Amino acid sequence: MLRLHELTMRFGALNAVDGVSLSVGEGERRALIGPNGAGKSTLFAMIAGALRPSGGTIEFDGQDVTGLPEHRRARRGIARTFQHSSLFAGLSCAENVALAVRARRGLGMRAWLGSGRNMDIKREVTGYLDLMELSEERPAGALSHGEARRLEVAMALAQQPRLLLLDEPAAGMSSAESARFAELIQNLDTTLLIVEHDLDVVFAVASHVTVLASGKVIADGSPAEIKASAEVERVYLGTAKEIWC
Amino acid sequence: MRESVMRGGDARMSRLTRRLAFAAALVLLAAMPYMLDAYRLDLLAGGLAYGLMAASLAFLVGHGGLPSLGHAAFLGVGAYAAGLTAKHVTPNVALQLLVAIAAGVLFALLTGWFAVRTRGFFFLMFTLAIGEIAVQAATRSTRVTGGDNGLADIPPTGLDVVTFYWWALAVVAVGFGVLVLLRDGPLGRSIAGARENEARMAALGYHVTGVRLAAVVIAGAVCAAGGALVEQKDTFVAPTHLEIGVSVLLLIMVLLGGRQTLIGPLIAGVGLIVLRSVTSTALGELWLLVEGALFVICVYLLPNGLLGRRRAQAA
């Protein structure tokens, strides 16, 4: 469903992403791990369309979308959450999600909607907020960190994407929160690409893991294979242990 | 962020209460011909026209987050379009108004197409430049616009003061109603979304440039309607109507009334026009000093505008 071919992003002399090729199949849950600066977020931004790659191609659903602007990719079914919560801070939680729902239904540019349609939208919004245990009226800017992360996900889910890109969704969550979160993700039936530092979440969610370091793919395999790989241990898990233990 | 949190206050004041207040104000204003003499009625009609234009600017600046320094250009486009229509095509005030609105939309599309691709300070400078270009265009194309002397010999509307006042009131009420409905509809909310977070809007599938352009077109069309009223009232329009000073005056109305509301700038617009007339009669040139002092005091004491303050306390 998603194929990256020799995808490259250069910032000056730095190759943030350096010839990454990978393909993600329909229904797969692919985790992308790697140390800070490995190019994970840059890769995400290119897949979503926020960054134009310096080289290589992105294919989604068998079509080349490399030149397609971000909003058109979103309409084709690619949704993302942001590493640092990117919400409509001044608007209520309900309105944050409603913007996503209206966009998906193609109603975002309508001057006016009948009350029937509005009720429909409201019902759907309430569903996503309940799922993420968020209250409707609070402004997004007043949420705690964990709540903001959940609102991020609620908005992405409201897009009913075919491919969901989650950029460190569990960052800053307590271990109880992230366990609940992993459970929720497991119950989604959408193709998933997830960048995450919390390896408990990664190994709980992913069906397949790709390891990135210095902009290159250095390993690729099932969660069990990745856990066992010495190379991965050295560049990533090793350093992680030093930091966290 | 604080201001938009307060915008939630709109929801607290129930829709019914707001509609009742709007209806009551409308009835009161419609009864003004029985209370005011012709001079004051004429003044009030002008005040309402400027109030509508201030509300349209508030839609752009407060709701859309697009600070414009050239909004008077839309006043000019509407006024010249209505005046030229009156002079060369038809004495029908409604048709003149429609032509003015169409001209406003066209001008908004032409200039907005480029303007919405800039951000913040550059948007401000761009709109300033558009305003200046509009003044130059009105001054230089002497044969069409009458140049510096203004568009003279516009035939009078044929409406007496009272009838014209009602016409102006109807246009302002409808124009304001349209602004409020659009603000609260899906497009208006998308405009608020683009103000809050462009990157997220794009990620949700919105064409952000298009959303911002829609905000410019709505504000421009409504402002052009106000411009048409200004021309019809005085049967005159000159390049001075488009000058930066007028754009700034509209901005002052928005700031005084509270840029997070639409009704505040409307009220401030009426108030400022009336106050200007009263003080300039009493004090001559000194009225500028009064207005300036008032503005400084208001901004100092009421950073969120008259209505913004009240709402903050309510919340």
Query: What domains can you pick out in chain A, each with its CATH number?
Result: 2-87+161-244 (3.40.50.300), 90-142 (no CATH)
* B175 contacts B220 by C-beta, under 8 angstroms: no
In a domain, B285, yes or no: no
In chain A, the largest separation of any two C-alpha atoms, in whole Å, equals 60
DSSP per-residue string spanning B235-252: T-B-GGGGSHHHHHHHHH
CA–CA distance, B100 with B75 (Å, rounded to integer): 9
Q: In this complex, is the C-beta atom of A245 within 8 Å of any C-beta atom belonging to chain B?
A: no
Number of structural domains chain B divides into? 1
Look at phi and psi of residue B225 and say left if phi exceeds 0, alpha if psi is from -120 to 50, else beta.
alpha
High-pLDDT (> 90) share of chain B, %: 76
In a domain, B87, yes or no: yes
Contacts of B274 (CB under 8 A, 6+ apart): B43, B44, B47
Minimum mean pLDDT among A17-26, A113-122, B19-28, B302-311: which range?
B302-311
Contacts of B196 (CB under 8 A, 6+ apart): A88, A89, A90, A91, B4, B65
Average pLDDT taken over every residue of chain B = 90
Contact A74 B189 (CB under 8 A): no
What residues of B are in the A interface, CB distance below 8 Å?
Answer: 1, 3-5, 7-8, 181-182, 185-187, 189-190, 192-193, 196-197, 199-208, 210-211, 214
High-pLDDT (> 70) share of chain B, %: 93
Contact B196 A91 (CB under 8 A): yes
Closest-CA distance of chain B to residue A83, Å: 12
Q: In this complex, is the C-beta atom of A51 within 8 Å of any C-beta atom belonging to chain B?
A: no
pLDDT, tens digit, for every residue of A106-152? 999 999 999 999 999 999 999 999 988 899 999 999 999 889 988 99
In a domain, B313, yes or no: no
In a domain, B130, yes or no: yes
In a domain, B21, yes or no: yes
Q: In this complex, is the C-beta atom of A205 within 8 Å of any C-beta atom belonging to chain B?
A: no
Contact A111 B187 (CB under 8 A): yes
pLDDT of residue B38: 94
In a domain, B17, yes or no: yes
Q: In this complex, is the C-beta atom of A71 within 8 Å of any C-beta atom belonging to chain B?
A: yes
* Domain interval for residue B71: 8-243
Helix, strand, or coil (residue B151): strand
Q: Choose the mutation target among B1, B117, B183, B200 for the interface with A, i.e. most A CBs under 10 Å.
A: B200
Closest-CA distance of chain A to residue B218, Å: 11
With cut-offs at 50, 70 and 90, classify the pLDDT of residue B308.
Answer: low
pLDDT of residue A173: 81
Closest CB to B5: pick one of A72, A112, A141. A141
pLDDT of residue B56: 98
In a domain, B3, yes or no: no
Helix, strand, or coil (residue B113): helix
* A208 contacts A32 by C-beta, under 8 angstroms: no
pLDDT of residue A169: 87
pLDDT, tens digit, for every residue of B121-134? 999 999 999 999 99
Q: What is the pTM of this model?
A: 0.90
Closest-CA distance of chain B to residue A21, Å: 23
The residue ranking higher by pLDDT, B4 or A124, is A124
In a domain, B181, yes or no: yes
The answer to whether residue B311 scores a pLDDT higher than 50 is no
With cut-offs at 50, 70 and 90, classify the pLDDT of residue A243.
Answer: very low
Minimum mean pLDDT among A102-106, A186-190, B85-89: which range?
A186-190
| Chain A environment of B315 (Cβ under 8 Å) | none
| Chain B environment of A98 (Cβ under 8 Å) | 189
Exposure string over B121-151, b if 16+ CB within 10 A, otherwise e:
eebbebbeebbbebbebbbeeeeebbeeebb
| Mean pLDDT confidence for B252-266 | 92
pLDDT, tens digit, for every residue of B20-76? 999 999 999 999 999 999 999 999 999 999 999 999 999 999 999 999 999 999 999
